[in-house]
Structure 1
């Protein structure tokens, strides 16, 4: 009986401590480790959401861009961080799913070693080329690609969304690209704009300014509906590649062992941010979709993350993608 009373008292003490931690959190700035370079789509989305989250939480959320090695450096930093809620990780499908199929020597598990908080967004990609490419539509672009002895395709890194999309395209149309990986999609796009490389798949949030400014040619959006922000860019169905749909999502995680009360508080701040009309408007401007409500909870996002791992990791492994 005495032992049971001690155990019960201990459990009650943990609950009280957990409540106290949640009530006092956050008492200082939070660092959000973004596993991508500054200026890219993941960074853009992270800044929009965390600015509003900070207002809800009553603190500043500082973005720390940790790109390189396809995002494994940044995700590794989150995995090793203290699970106290003051270091969180923001990354995309490529960082927290695809890399599980590419790297066999990671010192952490991309599903088991993180606490899922919430999905943040999802969005299609745009098929782009440098301005010097003579093709004016996707059919002409594919014909041009097939006629070239070698075509370069910029990517944000090995296994980045643009890399996986490029692999899918070359299988679909029967060409082989010379993939050129960068430390993030922002510098990759810059070299296509400069004319140094031929093509790229880019998320709309990053491509939009260059498309509107005439820095690149845009051929199709990898979705089944045109984007309000780019009404003149056809869908892949309209452009001649029916069903070639590719959507990239972003999410937020905490280190494994972060108290549930803190994870729930972060998730609530995300939900407030995504419900804010100003955030919705900014997302619409960069063609990002608000995730469904069930993906905005830790449990729902965990289930979605697991399903994405089960879907994509075998495909990535079968493609034989290896780190460069």
Structure 2
């Protein structure tokens, strides 16, 4: 009886070992052959947006790396949440990925109640693409050249008005942080997009703006706007003559705008790693780097998927804290 039991246990052990080996072999073959069909690349924003342009740069390069077509699908709406929901409903096999950013995985889940999703635990992070920052700009008629001069001038006003592309966006929070840091009363004027806000700034109807670099680079270069500081940790190449808040001594005004790739939760680890390797390869391509440079996006230094996930978790917590401090809400 004991011998039969021992033989049965040995057979079970061999069966389990064989099953594990077959599973591992299947996963290895799956990763090696991935992708063997078109890949859908979700963009949680409209065609032509900065995020869309970054995604299409990568999609073109992925097509060359994989020798497989990559279909870009724009899902604009609800501050990117519609695209996020599409990713969460997708099959976790690596054939649907999404370009996320500071709004979809930082601001939105921190700002909206109830929290629509968890930016860290509800996704499989692949890797960071790059980052940029907002630029503080004013008009030249103020005869102000430095941040300190502008802070001093702001303190003489009852309030300083600033525009943003909408309530709850990073530019909105940057203006709030400016007022809090320098003890200046600020009045937020939300617009439907960056363009109308910049037009009102040029027309003297608002006092200042924190704005994405591509939207104002020609205006700064032509002298129609004056750039005083940028919110990145280090100077961006396109604005190498503009100091950062950090180097001016205001570390708490750092606000990084970032982009990264995500897969649905449950995507096999080896597939995530294959996607991660493809991303690192794409970011080394000269045409991709040139395209990102034109968009004023600094390519991210190589980091693992796990490290990127840790970054997303920490950045999300930073936004949770900022939302609580500011009291900013959305309907």
Length-normalised TM-score, structure 2: 0.81
Provide structure 1 residue ranges, at least 5 long, that are not aligned to the other structure. Answer: 183-187
Question: What does 1:133-282 align with in structure 2 at a 5 Å threshold?
Answer: 134=142, 136-137=144-145, 138-139=147-148, 141-142=150-151, 143=153, 147=157, 151-155=161-165, 157-173=166-182, 174-180=184-190, 182=192, 188-195=193-200, 198=206, 199-212=208-221, 216-223=225-232, 225-236=234-245, 242-243=250-251, 244-282=253-291
Provide structure 2 residue ranges, at least 5 long, that are not aligned to the other structure. Answer: 1-8
Is the CA contact (8 Å cut-off) linking 2:119 and 2:312 kept in structure 1? no
The question of 1:320 aligning with 2:330 is answered no
User: How many Å separate the matches in 2 of 1:62 and 1:210?
Assistant: 34
Following TM superposition, by how much is the alpha carbon of 1:257 offset from its aligned partner in structure 2, in angstroms?
1.1
The question of 1:46 aligning with 2:50 is answered no
User: How many Å separate the matches in 1 of 2:76 and 2:189?
Assistant: 18
Larger Rg: 2
User: How many Å separate the matches in 2 of 1:213 and 1:37?
Assistant: 29
Following TM superposition, by how much is the alpha carbon of 1:266 offset from its aligned partner in structure 2, in angstroms?
0.9
Is the CA contact (8 Å cut-off) linking 2:31 and 2:270 kept in structure 1? yes
Question: What does 1:5-44 align with in structure 2 at a 5 Å threshold?
Answer: 5-44=14-53
User: How many Å separate the matches in 2 of 1:140 and 1:10?
Assistant: 71
1:178–1:259 Cα change, 3 Å: same
The SS at the match of 1:321 is: coil
Is the CA contact (8 Å cut-off) linking 2:98 and 2:261 kept in structure 1? yes
Following TM superposition, by how much is the alpha carbon of 1:245 offset from its aligned partner in structure 2, in angstroms?
2.6
Is the CA contact (8 Å cut-off) linking 2:158 and 2:185 kept in structure 1? no
The SS at the match of 2:108 is: helix
Select 1:309's aligned residue among 310, 316, 321: 316
User: How many Å separate the matches in 1 of 2:213 and 2:157?
Assistant: 28
User: How many Å separate the matches in 2 of 1:312 and 1:195?
Assistant: 28
1:245–1:269 Cα change, 3 Å: same
Length-normalised TM-score, structure 1: 0.83
The SS at the match of 2:261 is: strand
**Number of aligned residues:** 314
Question: Residue 185 of structure 1 corresponds to which residue in structure 2?
Answer: none
The SS at the match of 1:316 is: helix
1:133–1:68 Cα change, 3 Å: farther
Following TM superposition, by how much is the alpha carbon of 1:246 offset from its aligned partner in structure 2, in angstroms?
2.3
Select 2:133's aligned residue among 110, 124, 139: 124
